[in-house]
Structure 1
Amino acid sequence: MIGISPDNKTFDSFKNIAPYLHHFFSEDILVSVCDREKYIQIDGAEKFGLTVKAGDFISNKGGDFEAIKTGKVIEKNISKDVFGREVKNVSLTNSYILENVEKTNNEAKNTDEILEFVKNIANKTNLLGLNAAIEAVRAGESGKGFNVVATEIRKLSKSSAESIKKIENIIKNIQFSVSNITKNINQINVYFKEQASEFEEINATIENLTSTAKSLENISKDY
C-alpha cells in the first residue's frame, strides 16, 4: 500500500497508472487504489479468484487497512521462508514415510525366509507322520495308539501348510501395497520440489513488486 496526498491530481495519476502496472511483471499482480474506507479501483482481482471490487469496503485484516491506519508502506511478502519451508517439510516428511515403507518391505522379505523355513518343517512333519502311520500299521494291534498320534501329526502339518499359504498371500498383498505407496510418495516428492521452486520465483517477483511500490511512493512525494 502506497500513501499519497489527497489532492485530485495525484489521486487521478495513480488511477491512470494502476491498469498498466502488470506490464512491468512477468507474473500476475493485483493493484488497488482506495480511499480511507473503500476500494476506488482494483485491477487483477479476477486472476487470483478474488471477488473484491471497486466500491467494496476495505477489510480491517488486510495490508491496505494497516497502511491507511499507520500511514506507512506495508510489505506483505509470500516468501520461501514461509511457504517454501512448509513445502520442504512436507517433502522431508514424505521421505521419512518412504524410508519406513521401504523398511516394512524389507521386513516382509525377511518374513518370506521365515515362512519358507516353517514350510519345510511342515513338510518334514507331514512326512514323519506318514512314516509313523506306516509303522503303526505294521505293528498291528499294538500300534493303534501310535497310529492315532501319527494321524494328529499329519493333521497339524496340513493345518500349518494352509496357514502358511494364507500368510504368504497376505504378505504378497502387503508388498504390492508397499510398492504402490512407494511409487505415489516418489511422485508427491517430485511435485513438492517443483512447488518449492515456484514459491522461490514468486518470492523474487514480490520483492520486485515491493521495490516498484517504493519507487512509486517516492514519485508520489514529488507531486
Structure 2
Amino acid sequence: MNEAISGREEVERLKQAFDLVLPIVQEIFPIDVMFALTDDERFLTYLPGEEVKVPIEPGAAIPSKGGIRQALEEGRTVSANVGAEVYGMAFKSVSKPIGTRQGNGRPAGVLTLGINLRHQQALEGAAENLALSSEEVRSATNEIAGTATELAAEIAELQELGRSVVTELKKTDEILSFIREVSENSTLLGINASIEAAHAGDHGRGFGVVASEIRKMAESSASSAREIETILKTIRTRIGRLDDTLERCSSQSEQQAAATEEIAASMEQFTTSATEIRQIAKVL
C-alpha cells in the first residue's frame, strides 16, 4: 500500500511540476509539442500545442488502445506515429510510465509528449526532392562527362587525320619539284630547238613550230606548278589553324569531362546527405 501511495504521490508531484514548468519548456521548445500527464485511469493535466492538439480534457478516461495504454500495461516507454486521419494532424507520441501502484510494479501514471510531425514531413519531403534532383543532375553530368570523353576522342582522331593530311601534302613537294624540273628542261629544249630550226631555215620551219609549242607547254606547266604550290601552302596554313583549334577544343573537353566528374561526385554526396536528412527527420 505504501508503494501505491508513493507512486501516486510521485504522479501528484509530477503534476505540480508539470503545471509549473512545462508551459515554459513548451515555449522554448524548437518545434510544436503538447504534453499530457495521466494516472493509471485518467488524464490529470493536458497542455496542447499551437497546432498539435487532441480533444481531451483533464479527468477524461485513458483510451483502451494507444501508446498511453500500452505504456501502462507494459511498463515501458512507447513511441508511435499518429496519422493526420486520427486527429487532423500528424504527430509523434512518446509515452513514459512513471511511479508504481499497488505493489505489483505496474506504473502509477504516464507522461506523454506529442511532437508535431509537420516539420518532419516537410524535412522528409525536402530530402526526397533533394535526392531526386541530385540523382537527375548526377545522371545528366555523367552523360555530359561521357559525351565530353567521346568528343575528346573524336577531336584527337581529327587531329591525327589533319596531321596525316599535312604529311601527304608534303609528298606533293617532290611532285612539284619534278614538274618544275621538267618545265625548266622543256624550256631549254624548246629554246635549243628554236635555234636549230632557225639555222635550218625553211627546212626547219615545222620543227620551229614544235619548239614553240614545247616552250608554251613548259611555261604552262611552270605556271600550274606555282598555282598548285600556292594552293597547297594555303591548305597547310588552314590545316595548321584547324589543328590549333582542335587542340584547344580537346583541352576544353578534357576540362569539361573533369568538371562534370567532380559535379557527379558532389551529387553523389548530396544523395548521401539527403538520405542522412531523411534519417534525422525520422528521429525528430
TM-score, normalised by the number of residues in structure 2: 0.55
Q: Could you tell me how far apart the structure 1 residues matched to 2:189 and 2:245 are?
A: 48
Is 1:170 paired with 2:231? Answer: yes
Further displaced range: 128-137 or 6-15: 6-15
Q: CA RMSD in A?
A: 2.7
Q: Could you tell me how far apart the structure 2 residues matched to 1:124 and 1:7 are?
A: 104
Tell me which residue corresponds to 1:38. none
Aligned pair in 2 of structure 1 residues 125, 11: CA closer, same or farther (>3 Å)?
farther
CA contact (8 A) 1:101 1:182 kept: yes
Work out which of the residue numbers 187, 195, 201 in structure 1 matches 2:256.
195
Alignment of structure 1 residues 1-223 onto 2, 5 Å: 7=90, 9-12=116-119, 33=126, 74=132, 75-79=135-139, 81-223=142-284
Compute the displacement of 1:222 (Å). 2.5
The one-letter code matched in structure 1 to 2:210 is V
Q: Could you tell me how far apart the structure 2 residues matched to 1:205 and 1:134 are?
A: 87
Q: How many residues align?
A: 170
TM-score, normalised by the number of residues in structure 1: 0.69
Residue 76 of structure 1: SS of its match in structure 2? helix
CA contact (8 A) 1:77 1:207 kept: no
Q: Could you tell me how far apart the structure 2 residues matched to 1:99 and 1:187 are?
A: 15
Q: Could you tell me how far apart the structure 1 residues matched to 2:223 and 2:210 are?
A: 20
Which structure 1 residue ranges, 4+ long, deviate > 3 Å from structure 2?
5-15
Structure 1 runs not aligned, ≥5 long: 19-31, 35-62, 68-72
The one-letter code matched in structure 1 to 2:169 is A
Residues 125-172 of structure 1, C-alpha deviation per residue, up to 9 Å, x if partnerless? 011000000000001110001000000000011111111111111000
The one-letter code matched in structure 1 to 2:163 is E
Q: Could you tell me how far apart the structure 1 residues matched to 2:174 and 2:121 are?
A: 76
Aligned pair in 2 of structure 1 residues 33, 208: CA closer, same or farther (>3 Å)?
closer
Larger RCO, structure (CA 8 Å, separation 6 or more): 1
Q: Could you tell me how far apart the structure 2 residues matched to 1:186 and 1:207 are?
A: 32
Compute the displacement of 1:14 (Å). 7.2
CA contact (8 A) 1:125 1:157 kept: yes
Structure that is richer in strand per residue: 2
Tell me which residue corresponds to 2:33. none
The one-letter code matched in structure 2 to 1:78 is R
Q: Could you tell me how far apart the structure 1 residues matched to 2:255 and 2:249 are?
A: 10
Compute the displacement of 1:115 (Å). 0.5
